[in-house]
A and B are shown apart, each in its own frame.
Chain A
Amino acid sequence: DIQMTQSPSSVYASIGDRVTISCRASQGVSSSLAWYQQRPGKAPKLLIYGASSLQSGVPSRFSGSGSGTDFTLTLSSLQPEDFATYYCQQADSFPLTFGGGTKVEIK
């Protein structure tokens, strides 16, 4: 199974900050990597697929990069609605696996 490791597990940031979240796969997944946002009590929401493709309707302040084993989600200017937990997911092979999550909290 492919293990997905996210870092940090939590980050404290202010409105307008740039935030970077990392995700590392235990083996190469090419560009088959997705990012999701989950607000408390809500279902996850797709932000990025194919490592860097922005899902329709998602603000352009979200961006993804990377390939192989190392990936990054960047929030260029944090907005109040961005305080949430973010998960990466490898979409390369079954069993599909998620990272442990990164909680973005208000500083």
Chain B
Amino acid sequence: EVQLLESGGDLVQTGGSLRLACVASGFSFNSYAMSWVRQAPGKGLEWVSATGSGGIDKHYADSVRGRFTISRDNSKNTLYLQMNSLRVEDTAVYYCAKAGKTVAHTRYFDAWGLGTLVTVSS
């Protein structure tokens, strides 16, 4: 069974930093691209960042580029999101999500974690 478990969410002040982690199990983590998707309270889904299976290719939403960094450690089956210079508008539940296939350019998600809440206070 595929499982994704996020951690690291917390209450932080504006300008602060957090590192989120997502531990994966039940599939060959090093074969799949992974993404972070967030959802502000009462709002819709917003894709944040993606990394290819090898961790070389990385993509970011304009809203986080230059502040957030995605990475992965395939030896630990773990995806990370380093979040710096946090803003109130970064407040959201952050989900990690697994690409649907190992085929390159598969950009939909067939498994999601339960999410971790990041709250940024001014």
Contact = CB atoms under 8 A, between A and B. Distances in A.
Interface of A: 1, 32, 34, 36, 38, 43-46, 49, 55, 87, 89, 91-92, 94-101
A43 B47 contact: no
Contacts of A49: 100, 108, 110
A99 B61 CA distance: 15
A89 B108 contact: yes
Contacts of A87: 44-45
B50 A94 contact: yes
A43 B113 contact: yes
A43 B95 contact: yes
Interface residues of B, number: 23
Contacts of B110: 46, 49, 55
Nearest to B99: A91
A59 B108 CA distance: 19
B112 A43 contact: yes
A29 B97 CA distance: 21
Contacts of B111: 46
A36 B46 CA distance: 13
A36 B39 CA distance: 14
29 contacts: A1-B62, A32-B107, A36-B45, A36-B109, A43-B95, A43-B112, A44-B45, A46-B100, A46-B108, A49-B110, A55-B110, A87-B44, A87-B45, A89-B45, A89-B108, A91-B106, A91-B107, A92-B107, A94-B50, A94-B59, A95-B59, A95-B60, A95-B62, A96-B47, A96-B50, A96-B107, A97-B47, A98-B46, A100-B44
A87 B46 CA distance: 11
**Most chain A CB inside 10 Å of its own CB: which residue of B37, B46, B107, B112:** B107
A36 to B, nearest CB: 8
Interface in B46-65: 46-47, 50, 59-62
Nearest to A6: B44
B114 A43 contact: yes
B108 A34 contact: yes
B35 interface: yes
7 A-B pairs closest in CB distance: A34-B108, A91-B107, A43-B112, A96-B47, A94-B59, A98-B45, A91-B108
